[in-house]
Amino acid sequence: MFIPRRNLKKGNKGFTLVELLVTITIFVMLTAVVLWNQAKFNSTILLTNLAYDTALTIRQAQTYGINIKSFTANGDTDFVPYGVHFETTAGNDKSFILFADRDNVFDEATQTYRKLGDGKFDGRADTCLSDYDDDPEGLVDGCVNRYNIKRGNKIYALCAEDVLDGETECSSLATKLNKLDIVFKRPNPDAIITSGNNTITSTVTIILSGVEGDTFRKIKVGQNGLISIAK
């Protein structure tokens, strides 16, 4: 029996191999761009959240220090200043510490210790101990909390200056710090800012960097206790 050949119109033909490969390539490229931008967006959001958490921790230290929050160690309750400690050294740039500045200051006149705090963190930045049995004289600061920085973010730089928006480095080595302590002591709301044994009398900037190393957020703290966040 004769079966007539079906007339295939040109418009009914499927994709050629070349057309299919081009389509798949375009789809893969668009997907890669979308996923890369999504990852970049997520990284930026996480870094912004870290900046706000850091600023809120400094504000918490200010609230504790001004509102006379007590700190108890070895059964001894004191009303002491509170502060936040930062470092950029390897291993310590992934965390910061909220501490009670409880270490005693020796008064030469009376030959006794006064529980005033010295305006800086005296302890190990890689630990947050709560056992003070080996510290009967109360010479060690109390670690309230150690905040770990995750997702590849870190403390990129500490500057003894007000770093301008858009800048990502301290202006010079003279203003670049390895350690930074911001302490608040009642009844004054102003910040006591130190780096080691040096007192800083200007606005300081804490620069945080994202996982890619090309996104930054800044927390600025002035001597008047004003805390702000900038890019």
Query: Which of 146, 190, 179, 153 is closest to 51 using CA atoms?
Result: 153
CB atoms within 10 A of CB 46: 17
pTM: 0.77
Domain annotation covers residue 124: no
Domain annotation covers residue 10: no
* Residue 33 belongs to domain with CATH number: 3.55.40.10
Query: Which of 58, 65, 200, 80 is closest to 140 using CA atoms?
Result: 80
Question: Is pLDDT above 80 for 113?
Answer: no
Domain annotation covers residue 151: yes
As for how many domains the chain has, the answer is 1
**Tens-digit pLDDT profile for residues 165-217:** 889 999 999 999 999 999 999 888 899 999 988 999 999 999 999 988 889 99
Domain annotation covers residue 160: yes
Domain annotation covers residue 177: yes
What is the widest separation between alpha-carbon atoms in the chain? 124
**Least confidently predicted of 42-56, 111-125, 177-191, 214-228:** 111-125
Q: Which domain holds residue 197?
A: 19-69+81-101+144-230
Share of the chain above pLDDT 70, in %: 75
